[in-house]
Structure 1
Amino acid sequence: MINHQSESDQVKTKSISDHSLVKSHTQSIKDIDLSVYRWAILLLYYLVVLVNGVPYEICVPISSFTANIYNVTLALVATASTVFMVMHPILSFVAAQTISNYGWASATNLGVILTIAGCAIKLLINQAGFIVLIIGQVLCGIGRPFILNSQASMAMSWFHPKTRIMIITLLNVVNTLSLVVSAQLPGIIFKGYNLQDDTDYENGRSRMQSLCLLEFYISLAILPSLLMLRSRPKEVPVKINKIERKRGMLKIMLRLFKNRNFVLLFIPFSLYFGILKAYLVIMELLMAPYKYKTDQVAGVGIRFHFHQLVG
């Protein structure tokens, strides 16, 4: 009887101890005084996401103009947007491994360097030909997964759990906003342009140079991130699980695609996203027979992204 009571007391004591430990851990998370610097980190990261998305639709509203000015096929012009976006799924797992091994700030800064380099290379389009723009788009696209895939790690390292959903939601809004800016810039630069009035294409080349130069100046806005981004503060709001770092990327991928729910979500999302992006790439070609102006074509593209913002 005494032994039974003793065991019961031990179980009760252990339960109280465990509860106190959990409560203490929860309280310690709440009591962590987050660095004010987190807001600088957040604004810098928002700016990086915004700037990286700007080059995406550089040729979408002006596809036919670009094909004539640089004497290339419309298929090659469409490639400029396609290669930018296709780099994300191709390098997404590589980016995830880089973030895991070296921290999200280092991965993001790699994306920053690639974005600036890509925008800089495109400045040579009138000297080296349209292929230079493709190369620049590839570099910007390679940087994209290193930037976008860092958002969860950034939020986890610098913010309390209760605010992370809001932070990531706002990041998605900023990402969509960058595509709005991307669709608008070509329409603004080429507004009023007419191929019939530009037989030698000098005006068209000058406008394309101005567009690339504007993108390059915009990309310079994210240079401070190379010096100011930090992967984590002295006190992290929650303990980070490092077990995944020890596992091979191939095993993680296989485990992911064995998850039935993931596959069921992945397939329809991929189809929807692919169809939408394909439509945006050929949108100017579909509207060309109806004599729409470049700024009107850009406006149609913006409406798609605006609905994403509202949603």
Structure 2
Amino acid sequence: MSIPGNRSRQFCGTVITVQKQAAPSGSQAVVMGSPASCKTATTCAEMPAAGATCESSTGRPAAASSQMGSPRYVIYASATTPDLVAAKYAPKVHGFLARLFAESNAGKPLMHEYYENYFDLYWDLHLGVTGEAIPPEVRTIGAGFTAVLGHWYPTEDIVRENIMRVRELRPRLREWIDRRVQAVIDGDVQDPEGTFVHYWLKNGQGGEHFRREDIVFECFHNFLAFSQWGNMLYRTMALLDEGSGDPAVRSWFERAMTNGPDAADGGAFTPLDRYVMELFRTVSPNGGSLSTVSTERGADPRSGSVLTLHPSVS
């Protein structure tokens, strides 16, 4: 297996296969986010113009940092607090990972199997919908979006074709999401409190900071944000690849897994915890962020952009 160039989002042309390895048993917490921190406010209602007290499943306030303390961000983050991840989302993620790394998948291309089940997890987390309840056109738009991210270069025919397909189907996707949001409101899903949408509705309270149309948008916008899960998995498995992986990464993995991976030995973290944290510190699933800025020189308005490279600041 070879990793092509620096095409950070490219999965095509490279096959990483699922390999079975013996490892000590024991449950590991799956954490997909980090708690928001707050320097001064104790509840979201104390944030200027927040207009809502943001609570998670246990009634604890979801706080916001001074840098990301906008009411919209606070409400968005209220759906991904650590208690919700542990109580509501981790079981769904555990099931997804169990299916992905099932023995029956050994020897199969990893990312193919990942995307076979990924959108069931995605829509289950957002709207509580899986399986046949996801319409074919919704799956098609997900596959098209993934193809654009995977091939990336806009001059390629496959990128252009999938961009046009996504644009064509987007109105139908928006309508479907809106209907499913209503289903969450009506309790017409198996576990409404196991969805992001439930907490966005609860904490947005129908106000201006997180309107229903914003909820619909975020359900689609997260296609881009959640694509980093696939990037992270791909890059991690590439580092661990038996044939062309990184020797240091493989060596530390072996050390972590053969010397009590789940034993904290009085410390805050287990060897496996520390290994995973180091992977997340050094592997950047998102190569950078592009921010647009408006400038004015005299009477001549100009627009520009600022690129923040993530690997260099990790």
TM-score by length of 1: 0.30
Q: Which has the higher contact order (CA 8 A, sep 6+)?
A: 1
Structure with more helix by fraction: 1
Relative to the length of structure 2, the TM-score reads 0.30
